[in-house]
Amino acid sequence: MGRSLFRTSLFRRARLWATGTLMAAGAVGLAAAPASAWTGGNVWVNFGSWNCPSGGSVVGVYWAVDTYSSGPATGDWGDNVVYPRVRVGSGSYNTLSYQVMCKKWGWYQYRGVVSQRTLTPYKSGLSYTY
């Protein structure tokens, strides 16, 4: 009879421990729920010629959005527009880092200043001009 009582006591302790653990996990799960939700999307970013400090026009862009997305390692060439993947929606916060390539006198190319901008788009497909 002593062993049976001991096993029942162990069973009760194990059940109480499991119940407490599940309750704690549920409380942590509720506390860890995000205050805001965002999804992935894309936006248009246009770079004006004012990004070329020595004059000329933008012909290429090196860019990255935080650690979320980046352009080709060789740069995005041919125009002054990029279409980066960004966080979109409530709680979205993106830091766009970029450097433009400028063309002047039809043959001279140089790099513009490295810059950063903050993007907080509420929907995909928006257009920004910097």
Two tokens, residue 3: 């062993």
Within this chain, do residues 50 and 90 fall inside the same structural domain, yes or no?
Answer: yes
Contact 105, 99 (CB under 8 A): no
* Mean local confidence (pLDDT), 34-46: 86
Please tell me whether the overall predicted TM-score, pTM, comes out greater than 0.75 for this model.
Answer: no
Q: Say which residues have a Cβ less than 8 Å from residue 47's Cβ, sequence separation at least 6.
A: 58, 61, 80, 81, 82, 98, 100, 129, 130
Q: What is the mean pLDDT of the chain?
A: 83
The full length of the chain comes to 130
> Residues 44, 104: one domain?
yes
* Domain tally, the chain: 2
Residues 1 and 65 placed together within one structural domain of the fold = no
Place 120 in a pLDDT band, splitting at 50, 70 and 90. Answer: very high
Residues 120 and 78 in one domain: yes
User: Are 28 and 2 found together in one domain?
Assistant: yes
> What domain range includes position 88?
39-129
Residues 90, 63 share a domain:
yes
Q: Are residues 107 and 43 in the same domain?
A: yes
Cα gap 99→64, rounded to integer Å: 10
Least confidently predicted of 11-20, 23-32, 52-61: 23-32
User: pLDDT at position 4, please?
Assistant: 55
Higher-confidence position of 7 and 71: 71
- Residue that the structure tokens 């450097």 belong to: 99
